[in-house]
Each structure stands twice: as structure tokens, then as C-alpha cells.
């Protein structure tokens, strides 16, 4: 669903680290200058990423953050949803790492 003022970005990356079944993981809270990250199981070997952000026009930066995360955590069978209200790339990376740590032994 598209909301006025919200940009939506989607990425699909092939993962190599299957995490198996897991309970959805939610990290962070949407609010001024923050974001939430939700990890859910997804069929297949992909890391699917769905981003909804109020900061329009930053697609190349989002792609860099997503690719950096995927290099460090090549998760497979995961749907990653990000709801952003203008967080900096450093905060996004921190939240992504926090969420990934919930999945890893």
C-alpha cells in the first residue's frame, strides 16, 4: 500500500545462511527520527527486503545499507520489513544488526 509522502523500496537478495523456522522479530519503534525492523520467515532462499520511508529520494543510500547488511548477514528464508521515519544510515545498520542477532545462535 502506498501512502502519500512515503517512498516504498523492495529488494530481493539470494541468501546463503538459512535460519530455519523462527518467531517474528521486532526491533525498534517508529517515531520521529527512528525506525522499526521486522524479520519474518519467508519461503525460499531469498532475503526479501521491503522498506517504507518518509525520507524520499534516498534509494541509492538504502541500497548501500541493504547490501552492506546482506554482506554481513546473508540470511536466507527471511522477509525483512523496515518502517522508517528518517533514521540515519548508522541507526538503520544498528537496528538491522540487532534484529539479525535475535536469529543467530
Q: What is the pLDDT of residues 49-70, one digit of tens each?
A: 999 998 889 999 999 999 999 9
H/E segment holding residue 64: helix 59-72
Question: pTM of the entire structure?
Answer: 0.91
pLDDT band at 99 (very low <50, low <70, confident <90, very high): very high
Domains of the chain by range and CATH? 7-103 (3.30.230)
Look over the chain and give the mean of its residue pLDDT values, rounded to a whole number.
Answer: 91
Mean pLDDT of 32-40: 86
Nearest to 72 by CA among 37, 104, 25, 35: 104
Cα distances (Å, whole numbers) of residue 67 to 2, 30, 47, 49: 24, 22, 11, 11
Amino acid at each position: 500500500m502506498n501512502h502519500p509522502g512515503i517512498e516504498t523500496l523492495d529488494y530481493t537478495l539470494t541468501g546463503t545462511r538459512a535460519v530455519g523456522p523462527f518467531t517474528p522479530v521486532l526491533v525498534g519503534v517508529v517515531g520521529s527520527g527512528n525506525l522499526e525492523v521486522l524479520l519474518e520467515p519467508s519461503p525460499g532462499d531469498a532475503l526479501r527486503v521491503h522498506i517504507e520511508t518518509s525520507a524520499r529520494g534516498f534509494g541509492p543510500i538504502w541500497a548501500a545499507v541493504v547490501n552492506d547488511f546482506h554482506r554481513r548477514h546473508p540470511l536466507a528464508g527471511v522477509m525483512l520489513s523496515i518502517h522508517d521515519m528518517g533514521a540515519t544510515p548508522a541507526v538503520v545498520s544498528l537496528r538491522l544488526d540487532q534484529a539479525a542477532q535475535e536469529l543467530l545462535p
